[in-house]
Amino acid sequence: MKKEDYRQWLSEKVVTQTKLVTAAAVAMLFFGLIAICLELALVKGIVGLFIGPGFPAFVTSLGILGAVLYSTWLRLPKHLGDVPHPAIVNGEEASVFIAPTMSVVWTFALGSIDSDRTWVERLLGLLALPQRLLVAGSYVLNRVKELRELNIPGCAAVLKVLFRKAERMEVSDLADKLTKTEIPGTLRQVSLIDGVIFLTRATVAVSLAPRMVDDLNAWKARRGAVDDTDD
């Protein structure tokens, strides 16, 4: 396939992914709002037992939930921040930032299910569920914006090399192959694309998930695209 074909395929894929991510953001915000309204009623009832029902209990409850929401927002970079990994690009040390996958975002939103957590930790996690859903929803809305602004030519060039390589590829080798591409910034955007796998145990390497390879092969067969020989 020619570079224009890879760009067209990626554009269509990103459109589909953007729709799915948008649906996820709407779901998080919708259920987060419902959950926080229910939690507000619960907290108001508990607070009302101490200071009496009415407006003071309502304001106090809002303050408590607002504090939890603000605390959750402050902790967002720790849980969903880009993770930097050292790499060699054009013979020099550089940092490659990798965005969290949507599965990581959903885990943050719904809470951990680790069996070694104490009942207190589980209770606190449950009480903060509405806030996590709202914060995660706002994070995913920003992900939608990033997908819409994706550098299609640059990302398609990376995916083209990976598809032809048909195996994991070190970042340093990618940089040698794509001399006109700003590798760290482009890989940050590539990490947003569903189906791209980053391997970071020793050095940073990139590969395509089998489902992405199958999707590209199916698209190529439908379009009758023929592989070219250019780099």
Q: What is the pLDDT of residues 172-218, one digit of tens each?
A: 999 999 988 899 999 999 999 999 999 988 789 999 999 999 999 99
User: In the predicted model, what is the mean pLDDT of residues 63-79?
Assistant: 93
Q: What is the mean pLDDT of the chain?
A: 90
Furthest C-alpha separation in the chain: 78
Which structure tokens are listed for 171? 């970042």
| Number of structural domains the chain divides into | 1
Give me the pLDDT at residue 228, please: 61
Residue 229 domain-assigned (yes or no) = no
Residue 231 domain-assigned (yes or no) = no
Q: Which strand (E) or helix (H) includes residue 150? A: none
Domain that holds residue 90: 3-223
Residue 228 domain-assigned (yes or no) = no
User: Do 162 and 207 contact (CB within 8 A), yes or no?
Assistant: yes
Is 0.85 surpassed by the pTM of this model?
yes
Residue 119 domain-assigned (yes or no) = yes
Q: Which amino acid is at 102?
A: M
Residue 230 domain-assigned (yes or no) = no
Residue 101 domain-assigned (yes or no) = yes
pLDDT score of 70 more than 90:
yes
pLDDT score of 112 more than 80:
no
Residue 90 domain-assigned (yes or no) = yes
